[in-house]
Structures are given as structure tokens and as C-alpha cells.
Copies of this chain bind each other. A is one copy, B any other.
Amino acid sequence: MGKETYTAALIIIGDEILSGRTLDKNTQYIAEKLNEVGVQLAEVRIISDDEAKIVGTVNELCAVHDYIFTTGGIGPTHDDITAESIAKAFGVKLELREDAYQCLVEYYDSEEDITEARKKMAYIPEGGALIPNPVSGAPGIHIGNVYVMAGVPRIMQAMMDHILPTLKGGASVISKTVEADCPESMVAEGLSAINNKYDTVSMGSYPKYQNGRFGTSLVLRSTDEVALDSAVNDVTVMVKEIERRMK
């Protein structure tokens, strides 16, 4: 029997996110895809393109989670230091790999076009497997429980879709949302009571502010669909009653 909960951490390597230049959309894609295969994204760290920081973060999280994903820093330029840092974290050499080099040759059509800068992308930590990159040739890397992916969303998504079927997960989490047309504070007490009634359903309450009005999304999550439906029913009855009283 497998264990019940599988967790993952995501390490986003990118000064461009920390400077505010780029809005990170990779977290949402990865979180949703992992949910589908029963792996829970437990933690995300956004860190700078700094070797010591990458090595330390990878080592710390590797020990805690079933899977570690990284995005960013595997391109051809001087600030792309992820492959090198991952090699250091695992204490292995970074080596020019024939299979990775062939990925580049296929993508660029001719060996003449593999400049020194591009060749950098064929250096892989010793013992690592390649993750295919159908978009721009240069592969991602799988070593230990770490998956090293590109930062460009289109490429990251292709890599993630390749990785997903290979992951072992627990029961997948089903999520249902009840929308309440009232502020969070109106449903707080009732939600807390229903929450105490269901051990296997987690309930989150998310205020929203639209068109000058407060509303609340009540999100219920569980791996047990029967319990979930029963809890959703309780929450719906409670919300309807509150909305009726407010009219």
C-alpha cells in the first residue's frame, strides 16, 4: 500500500520575479497539475539567481518533500546557473552529455549552429536524466527527487506534462466552491461549526471585493467525495439562509 499524502515543493529561481518585472504564473499551473495526480504542492520559494542560495534551498527541501520542482535558469546566458548549482547540491560533476548535445543538434538543424553559449545547455549533472523540451531543444533535468525545468511558461508546461504521468501520488483532492454574496464575517461562525463536523474535509474562506461589494468564496477540499458532497450541502444551506436574512 502506498502512503496517503505526497508533497512537493517548487523553487522559482528568478531575479525577474523578485524585481517585480515578471508576474509568476508557473506556480498556478504546477499546483493544478500536481493536484490532478494526487500530489500536494506544500511550499513555494522564490529565490534569486545565486548559487549558494539555490544549493541551500534544494538541499533543505529535498529532505522534506517527495518531489522538488525548479523553474528558471537553464538557458545559455551567464545568469543561467541552475544546472551547475543542482550538480553542487548533489555533489556530482557537471558534464557535457552526448544525448543532451544531440537534442540541441536536432533543434538547431546543424552542429555548426551550436555556439559555445548554446553548448552550455548540454551540460548535465552526472547521473541526471533528460526531460524533453519540444519547444526549444535544450532539455530539463531529472536527478534524485528534483525536476529542473525552464522558466518560460510554454516550455515549463511541456516539461511538466511530460513528467506528470511518471509521478506517484496519493488520492487526488477534489475541490468544490460555494459562492456567498456576503462578507466573510457573516459566514465565519456557521462555517466553523460545519468545519468541526467534518474531519476529512478542509474548508477555506476567501474574501473577494468586486464592484464595491464584498463576497466570499468558500472552498471545500477532500479526497472523500461522499463527505465532500455532504459538507457542500451543509454550507450551501447555511449560505442561502444568511443571504435570505440579509434581504
In whole angstroms, how far apart are the Cα atoms of A141 and B167 in the complex?
Answer: 41
Given the complex of chains A and B, what is the CA–CA distance between A32 and B184 in angstroms?
29
Interface residue tally on A, bucketed by range: 35 or more
Residues of chain B within 8 A (CB-CB) of A233 are none
The secondary-structure label for the interface of chain A is mixed
Please report the C-alpha to C-alpha distance between residue A226 and residue B42 in the assembled complex, in whole angstroms.
Answer: 44
Contact present for A16 and B79 (CB under 8 Å): no
CB neighbours (8 Å) of A236 from chain B are none
Contact: B42 with A207, CB < 8 Å?
A: no
Segment 39-54 of A: residues with Cβ below 8 Å from B: 40-49
Report the bound CA distance from A194 to B75 in whole Å: 18
Known: A43-B46, A48-B42, A116-B189. A22 touches B152 (CB 8 A): no
Of B23, B28, B117, B173, which is within 8 A of A188 by CB?
Answer: B117
A175 located at the interface, meaning its Cβ lies under 8 Å from any Cβ of chain B in the complex = yes
Chain B residues with Cβ below 8 Å from A40 are 18
Residue A195 lies at the interface, judged by CB distance under 8 Å to chain B? yes
Cβ–Cβ contact B31 & A18, under 8 A: yes
Among the 9-residue stretches A90-98, A124-132, A198-206, the one with 4 or more Cβ atoms under 8 Å from chain B is A198-206
- Determine whether the beta carbon of A185 is less than 8 Å from that of B76: yes
Give the residue name and chain of the B residue nearest to A153 (CB).
B209
Check B77–A187 contact: CB distance below 8 A: yes
Does B206 contact A22, Cβ atoms closer than 8 Å? yes
Complex contact A184–B75 (CB within 8 A)? yes
Q: Are B32 and A28 in contact (CB under 8 A)?
A: no
Is A77 within 8 A of B192, CB to CB? yes
In addition to A76-B188, A77-B184, A154-B209, 6 A-B residue pairs with Cβ atoms within 8 Å of each other are A19-B35, A19-B173, A23-B25, A43-B47, A117-B189, A117-B192
